[in-house]
Structure 1
């Protein structure tokens, strides 16, 4: 048998049983369509996820300031230094604070009456900060106001409570000008913060926040320990390099800077992780499609035993029979790949339009999907083709017509 005859017989075999052929092609359509859809949607969703990540978290920088080594040693960062950072191009907000050492929080209570039958003192962190904490930590005010530069300059004994600190102290309103007693010293509560918008700065939510001047006078909290910076999108990496110089020009290397990774790296990482996960799902779908083709082709071989015996009796060799069935399964896979790729692209576009996303489709994947379908059909047809080729002419002629 010549190659032309083999191709003609394969095409005729595909068209001889149209219902079974359509069902088999449908299996490949499901596999290829799922592969294209999952990868296309993953690329689109990954792009969307990375964009959201860039907009929210890639603009946050934290600078940790070391504690002075000696009792009379000058502070590593002065309280006027955050103003130098605020003047850097790309900085939207900057705040600095000192806090009580971890594990040595101060007793805080909401009234001056001591009841021996109740524990009214709460051990809470206390911050002495600049007046820009809400902007730098992306916090809102649940009640009242935050202290301003005037309170700081006048060394006013006022306080703002984080939401968790206010809950522990039982303070929910400030219209009656409540006071809190920090280590026995009274501070008027003028505001209560809402939940912080920066997950990397949980301390203000649990703390009593005082003007740094009042905190230094009454509690001796000392110099700056933390500087929180927010930047414009795309400026975090540059500001992270410039901030230590602006804060401590004499010894910038002594500061510890926590900056987000490069947004481009994060974007590629998120998109790659999602694509890898859904690629596995697509490959599983292809395996299911291959099993379907193999099953249907095997049934077809069993139903065409008489035909196989007749062809062997007329001189067809084993490899002719094997190639014929391989070509049939390959053609089925090729047709399924073409239809599946088209359906997958349409699905990606439809989902993107529904979600108001920008569709992202891999052109190389769409172009090679028919070849992938043909390969799946070829692999799936190996066992049925080998079984058909092993049939003896006499045994095959006894099979069902």
Structure 2
């Protein structure tokens, strides 16, 4: 049989029953559409999951300065860190065991009816501290370089420390007394996303902290942009103190890369299984309808065999018919799947992630499904004897 004759016979067989062919094609369309949609949604959802993990990626680095190093890290050292690409903010902090438990009072009057004194931590820090601890000033302001340069006795209270001391308003320039020394409160720091202990602390400039034994930097707080934490963790000691880089202790939480990759692989595998199941369902539908078609065309098969058609001609015709149905279903299903992925991404405000290879391979997958689904019916049709078929 000539290829053109085979093609025309197969096309005529498909178009002879358009409604049935359309319904048969629908099974492949649903299978391919589900496969493309699941792969596309899996990639898109996986991208969103990766984005969520990236938001949780550690960007906070702490560099601890051992006490024995003394002034190895100066108060102006964080300025060197800001020159590194990827550093968002940095601040130097000084705190000792002695300064962690100091008597702090809000006035010098002894009032037995109320508590005016607390045991709080006193910390010296550079003016960049609010950015380094990802906090905000809920009242007043933070001290600046001018306060540090003049040696002003000013203080900023943590939000809980202000409540404990009964300091609520900044207009009257309230004062707190640390070990008998008066410090004017100019602001309250709250909303801390790191260094939560500072919520119950009294924060003073480095020059004022020197009076309380806080001369040397004990740690440096650094915030980086996403993805820069590992690099900055290696570079920070060199930038802070080149001569003592190996003695500085860098604390950088590990990134959740392994967990992120595992979750993405699980999502991809789950959606791929769902798509393959849908494709198998479509293949079963094609096989079922093709088998019914063969049974209904027994007389035609018998007549063609009587006129000289060989077994391979009959098998090739039915195989080509089922392959055509699968190919058409693959083309429609692939196009429909891409549209659904984009529509779902638009509704969810996601960035659609589409792999071109599965979309282009979907029509071929549909044709392969049709070919496999038509194997049994075509072999059954080719084995019919002309006399039995005509009878």
TM-score, normalisation: structure 1:
0.70
Name the CA distance, whole Å, in 1 between partners of 2:214 and 2:329: 72
Structure 1 residue 214 corresponds to structure 2 residue 208: yes
Over 3 Å counting, the alpha-carbon distance change for 1:20 and 1:306 in structure 2 is: closer
Give SS of 1:79's match: coil
Offset, 1:375: 3.1
Aligned 8 A contact 1:43 1:275 in 2? no
Aligned equivalent of 1:298: 288
Give SS of 1:62's match: strand
Greater CA deviation, 4-13 or 296-305? 4-13
Aligned 8 A contact 2:27 2:285 in 1? no
1:191 to 172, 183, 187: 187
Over 3 Å counting, the alpha-carbon distance change for 1:326 and 1:66 in structure 2 is: farther
Over 3 Å counting, the alpha-carbon distance change for 1:12 and 1:96 in structure 2 is: same
Offset, 1:78: 2.6
Name the CA distance, whole Å, in 2 between partners of 1:38 and 1:206: 51
Trace 1:303-322 onto structure 2 (pairs within 5 A).
304-308=294-298, 311=301, 314=305
Over 3 Å counting, the alpha-carbon distance change for 1:362 and 1:87 in structure 2 is: closer
Name the CA distance, whole Å, in 1 between partners of 2:296 and 2:374: 19
Gaps of 5+ in 2: none
Aligned 8 A contact 1:286 1:376 in 2? no
**Residues 211-270 of structure 1, C-alpha deviations (whole Å, 9 max, x = no match):** 23433423x3563232223457887666544432221121212223456999xx97x997
**Residues 176-221 of structure 1, C-alpha deviations (whole Å, 9 max, x = no match):** 434456677654432122424xx55544455432223433423x35
Name the CA distance, whole Å, in 2 between partners of 1:142 and 1:254: 37
1:370 to 358, 363, 366: 363
Name the CA distance, whole Å, in 2 between partners of 1:379 and 1:35: 18
Greater CA deviation, 295-304 or 45-54? 45-54
**Residues 247-298 of structure 1, C-alpha deviations (whole Å, 9 max, x = no match):** 1121212223456999xx97x9979965862563254134213213303532
Name the CA distance, whole Å, in 2 between partners of 1:302 and 1:46: 42
Aligned 8 A contact 2:27 2:282 in 1? yes
Aligned equivalent of 2:19: 19
Q: Which of 1 and 2 has greater Rg?
A: 2
Name the CA distance, whole Å, in 1 between partners of 2:208 and 2:84: 28
Trace 1:255-334 onto structure 2 (pairs within 5 A).
255-257=248-250, 274=264, 277-278=267-268, 280-295=270-285, 297-302=287-292, 304-308=294-298, 311=301, 314=305, 327-334=320-327
Trace 1:1-400 onto structure 2 (pairs within 5 A).
10-37=10-37, 39-40=39-40, 60=59, 62-69=61-68, 74-88=70-84, 91-99=87-95, 126-166=122-162, 171-180=167-176, 187-196=183-192, 199=193, 201-205=195-199, 207-218=201-212, 220-221=213-214, 223-230=216-223, 239-257=232-250, 274=264, 277-278=267-268, 280-295=270-285, 297-302=287-292, 304-308=294-298, 311=301, 314=305, 327-347=320-340, 361-379=354-372, 385=377, 388=380
Name the CA distance, whole Å, in 1 between partners of 2:371 and 2:95: 69
Over 3 Å counting, the alpha-carbon distance change for 1:246 and 1:323 in structure 2 is: same
Give SS of 1:74's match: helix
Give SS of 2:243's match: coil
Gaps of 5+ in 1: none
Name the CA distance, whole Å, in 2 between partners of 1:380 and 1:22: 16
Greater CA deviation, 361-370 or 312-321? 312-321
Name the CA distance, whole Å, in 2 between partners of 1:77 and 1:243: 11
Name the CA distance, whole Å, in 2 between partners of 1:13 and 1:274: 45
Offset, 1:129: 0.8
